[in-house]
Structure 1
Amino acid sequence: MFVRRMRASLRGWGGVGAMAVGCALALAFVLLLPLTQSRGEGGQGEGLGGPGLATGSPAKADDCTDSRAQDETWSPSGADGSTIDAIKARTGAKRKLIVGVDQNSYRWGYRNPNTSDAELEGFDIDLVHRIAQDILGDPDAVQFKAIPTSQRIPAIQDGRVDMVVRTMTINCDRLKDVAFSAPYFKTGQQVLAPKSSSITGYNGTLAHKKICTAAGSTAYAKLDADRKSGKLVASADISTTVPNQLDCLVRLQLGEVDAVVTDGALAASQAAQDPTVELKGAAFTTEYYGVAMKKGATDLVRRVNQILVEYRADGWQASYDKWLSATLGADSGASKPPAPQYLRTS
């Protein structure tokens, strides 16, 4: 009955009901079954995690600092290697790039219900198509798999996907488990709360408030570390974690939590959908999104970095204008990552 009432109030993607319905679908299907989509026939990937993968030296994270983690990647190269060869060796309907994405983050990776096949759209999805075009010669040669926030790294390590393009922050802890491209977006953690809330930002107004974060997210790691160090008020309750970040918004809408902490870029899109919530205060971290890949797949990382060099020059701004300017502003300067550095040599 609750879902039917919320459906009745749905007006495109602009209402609270859309978010609740989207979350319900995610909980019912996405977390249990891998989603496959291409604009043709989908199929399970071949060669993932198999002998075709490159066996280069893994990234060393021992000397990594989070302020420079985005630079811990390899220099660009357009050359193929054993990882890319394995992807290209897939045949027939299986000759696709297999990519972990989100399907519930508005304007990043989400299903547009106004299209005939509820196609995946957004800023991250544009980048995936560009990568597929370069590697396989076809922007639609993609098998999308919906990956919860908490499963991004396991999906790469288990060989379920070739890469994850899902608003994934580069940091030192993650570099111990996966390899990253150079950054393609700059953001920071912010607080999202009802407009009527007394919360004013990441400060003492969070005392005795219930805060929701996604399991395995940099938001939870930051809150946990800050509470231990005394930077976050001790009475703030950070025990509510969910598999997908969008689930936090639904809990906020239902009154089960008082605030959400997530990347400002994502929070801005959520605030645009729900007129009852808003960002509270400025970003209190600086973070960079990167494409995550398997450790040892150095040729694939180098190839993606080469693609990003070209994409930043031709494609990035058009995608920003299309998907993000309405929520983050026409000036994309604050969202552009700095000129990439390539510190990895082995």
Structure 2
Amino acid sequence: MRTTTKIAAAMAAAALALAGCASNDGNGGGDNASGDGDKGKITIGIKFDQPGLGLKEGANYTGFDVDVAKYVAKELGYNEDQIEWKESVSAQRENMIANGQVDMIVATYSITDNRKEKVAFAGPYFVAGQGLLVQESNSDISGPDSLDGKKLCSVAGSTPAERIKEEYSQGVQLQEAQGYSECVELLGSGTIDAVTTDDIILAGFAAQDQYQGKLKLAGTPFSEENYGVGVKKDSDMCEKVNEALTKMIDDGSWEKFLKENMGENYKPNESTNPPKPGGNCS
């Protein structure tokens, strides 16, 4: 009897150990991870064409958003080599989340009421403001009220483009592109007069070697854009991401990432940065 009891106990212990191993098979901490989750992957949407924020160069991905995404992924239990990066064009972001093409999006994704009807947002992790990028020699444009008769470029489906349509459409010739790099090229060639989007995005382009001394930010920011991490609605991942973002800000990583990617000269609005993540998951 004693031998039988010991054997049964040993078998039960072995079963528990196997169950424990199965629960840690490399899927990480993202309970709601989709995409390649069964292979221990997490799929993250970023921008591929925004210097300083989300930029793809060959097989390398760099930028503030990329560093934020890596930090969050690590806190969720994923190593860097378990991340699959996907380009998230502004107009496609909600669909990418809803269709399960990505587990989260970290791509200068402004939290808005309309978007919150379709996706949940962790964050904010940064507060930007809409600005204007012009040629260095331009003295006509100093803010949105000086855009009458000017040719302006922004990205289709973006918050800045919608704001121009709703609030500053009078006399403005708005051209909508698929990416901001296209807009900046048009500005550099003189085809348009200004590019509008968030100031941190514009600062990243202006800091590129080919544009230094040729482009500048005009006036002061005229909006408040709360950047969030987009995830699927009704997902418990949202609060976990909030915890990761809060830790990132508190341990100094947030400031480190910002300086490394945007340089010492970029100064975010200190009254709104660093922000306090939370309150947008529902």
TM-score (norm 2): 0.81
Q: State yes or no: 1:162 paired with 2:107.
A: no
Residue of structure 1 equivalent to 2:92: 151
How far off is 1:89 after superposition?
5.2
RMSD of Structure 2 on Structure 1 (CA): 2.3
2:257 partner SS: helix
Q: State yes or no: 1:236 paired with 2:172.
A: yes
Give me the whole-angstrom Cα distance separating, in 2, the residues matched to 1:89 and 1:186.
Answer: 31
How far off is 1:197 after superposition?
1.9
Deviations 1:150-193 (A, max 9, x none): 22222112211111111111111111111100200011000111
Q: Residue 136 of structure 2 contacts residue 215 of structure 2 at CA under 8 Å; is this kept in 1?
A: yes
Q: Residue 192 of structure 1 contacts residue 260 of structure 1 at CA under 8 Å; is this kept in 2?
A: yes
* Deviates most, 132-141 or 166-175: 132-141
Residue of structure 1 equivalent to 2:257: 319
Q: Residue 320 of structure 1 contacts residue 332 of structure 1 at CA under 8 Å; is this kept in 2?
A: no
Deviations 1:2-24 (A, max 9, x none): xxxxxxxxxxxxxxxxxxxxxxx
TM-score (norm 1): 0.67
Give me the whole-angstrom Cα distance separating, in 1, the residues matched to 2:192 and 2:135.
Answer: 10
Structure 1 runs of 4+ with >4 Å offset = 86-89
Deviations 1:187-223 (A, max 9, x none): 1000111122233322443111111010011111111
Higher strand share: 2
Residue of structure 2 equivalent to 1:71: none
How far off is 1:287 after superposition?
1.1
Give me the whole-angstrom Cα distance separating, in 2, the residues matched to 1:130 and 1:155.
Answer: 21
Opposite residue 285 of structure 1, the aligned amino acid is S
Query: Percent of aligned pairs with the same residue?
Result: 29
* Deviates most, 192-201 or 300-309: 192-201
How far off is 1:288 after superposition?
1.1
Residue of structure 1 equivalent to 2:3: none
Q: Residue 199 of structure 1 contacts residue 280 of structure 1 at CA under 8 Å; is this kept in 2?
A: no
Mind listing any 5+ residue stretches in structure 2 that lack a counterpart?
Answer: 1-28
Deviations 1:240-263 (A, max 9, x none): 101112211111112221111110
Q: Residue 130 of structure 1 contacts residue 139 of structure 1 at CA under 8 Å; is this kept in 2?
A: no
Distance 1:341 1:179, change over 3 A: closer
Mind listing any 5+ residue stretches in structure 1 that lack a counterpart?
Answer: 1-79
How far off is 1:138 after superposition?
1.5
Q: Residue 96 of structure 1 contacts residue 142 of structure 1 at CA under 8 Å; is this kept in 2?
A: yes
Alignment of 1:301-340 (within 5 A): 301-314=238-251, 315-329=253-267, 333=270, 336-340=273-277
Alignment of 1:238-317 (within 5 A): 238=174, 240-273=175-208, 274=211, 275-297=213-235, 299-314=236-251, 315-317=253-255
Give me the whole-angstrom Cα distance separating, in 2, the residues matched to 1:254 and 1:157.
Answer: 38
Distance 1:236 1:98, change over 3 A: same
Q: Residue 111 of structure 2 contacts residue 121 of structure 2 at CA under 8 Å; is this kept in 1?
A: yes
